[in-house]
Amino acid sequence: MKKLITLSLLLVCGLIVQAQSVKSLPESKLGWKIGVQSYTFRLFTFKEAIDKIDSCGAKFIESFPGQPVGGGVEDKMDYNMSAANRKLVKSWLKDKGLKIVNYGVVSYKTEAEWLKVFEFAKDMGIETFTAEPDTELIAYISKLCDQFKINVAIHNHPDPSFYWNPDVVLTAIKGQSKRMGACADIGHWVRSGLDPVESLKKLEGRVMAMHMKDLTEIGNKKAHDVIWGQGQSNISGVAAELKRQNFKGMISAEYEYNWHNSVPEVTASIEYLRSLL
């Protein structure tokens, strides 16, 4: 009995420490969740990505569909994952004090697939999809957002992709659920020659998620990631604009360079953003 009581107390204390560590982060007072898009570590399994994300000082994850689970599991991080393997992944996350908050970028072609991924997200505790949906499915997706109480944030890839311009995103979500908004990928805006701060202003009130990138050049599709604050994406201006808009949501570090060893750059980037707060 004493052993059981002691174990219970240790578990409770561990949860308290874990909660305090999240609340003590400078971004928590703003309602920001600074984390990592696991696509940053796409060359690794999700289990390996968990370790890397943890070492970067992040507490939140945006998982992407198709990443191998790893750890002896044959499944991938998608709605086909078995119930047993979902439970296993949840245990890995709990052990590290991490949480999958966002999931994407998704772009399914049928209503049946969208229903399956919403059910998967509900089971995994996912709050927001980053997505590039077909326009003819948006009304259906909007209904699923309200039914499952899960957000869909429309993501932008560079010009000439369909959602590259904030104006297109605003048109797509007009009249839809308040749970539909934008995932602002500022790196792709910069590649398209758009000013990230001005683009955020256009989307004011509808920004639900961020893919944070600092790139070497503006208007160059081949520009690559650098540590935040060292490139042309005006990270300090973006942070100030997010504060002004009272943004609440996840800011995902999506570092698409130095694929084999980007942990130091991601860590430095997160530290830079926190220094601005």
The number of folded domains in the chain is 2
Residue 85 has what pLDDT? 96
- Are 12 and 42 within one domain? no
Rounded Cα distance, 166 and 205, in Å = 13
Instruction: Please tell me whether residue 37 adopts helix, strand or coil conformation.
Output: strand
The answer on 155 and 196 residing in a single domain is yes
Task: Read off the pTM.
Answer: 0.89
Same domain, 13 and 96: no
Tokens 């971004």 belong to residue: 27
Mean pLDDT value of segment 192-218? 98
Whether residue 10 has pLDDT greater than 70? no
Residue 44 structural domain = 31-275
Residues 84-143 have pLDDT tens digits of: 999 999 999 999 999 999 999 999 999 999 999 999 999 999 999 999 999 999 999 999
Same-domain check for residues 149 and 201: yes
Whether residue 189 is found in the same domain as residue 233 = yes
What is the per-residue pLDDT for 249? 96
Determine contact, residues 221/158, Cβ cutoff 8 Å: yes
Domain co-membership, 78 together with 122: yes
Q: Is the pLDDT of residue 18 over 90?
A: no
**Per-residue confidence (pLDDT) for residue 24, from 0 to 100:** 80
User: Does 182 share its domain with 232?
Assistant: yes
In this predicted structure, what is the pLDDT of residue 3? 39
* 16 — pLDDT class (breaks 50, 70, 90): very low
**Is 5 in the same domain as 111?**
no
Beta bridge partners of 250: 33, 209
Q: How far apart are CA 86 and CA 254, in angstroms?
A: 24
pLDDT at 21: 73
Do residues 182 and 216 share a domain? yes
CATH code (residue 120): 3.20.20.150
- Report the distance separating Cα 129 and Cα 148, nearest Å: 12
Mean pLDDT on 37-47: 98
Check residue 210 and give its pLDDT. Answer: 97
Q: Are residues 18 and 80 in the same domain?
A: no
Binned at pLDDT 50, 70 and 90, residue 20 comes out as very low
Mark 149-183 as b/e (b = at least 16 C-beta within 10 Å): ebbbbbbbebbeebbbbbeebeebbeebbebbbbb
Examine the domain organization and report whether 5 and 121 are in the same domain: no
Q: What is the distance between the alpha carbons of residues 268 and 259, in angstroms, rounded to a whole number? A: 16
DSSP state of 157: P
Supply the mean pLDDT for the chain: 93
For residue 22, the model assigns a pLDDT of 76
Is 64 in the same domain as 162?
Answer: yes
Cα dihedral 277/186/233/194 (nearest 10): -140
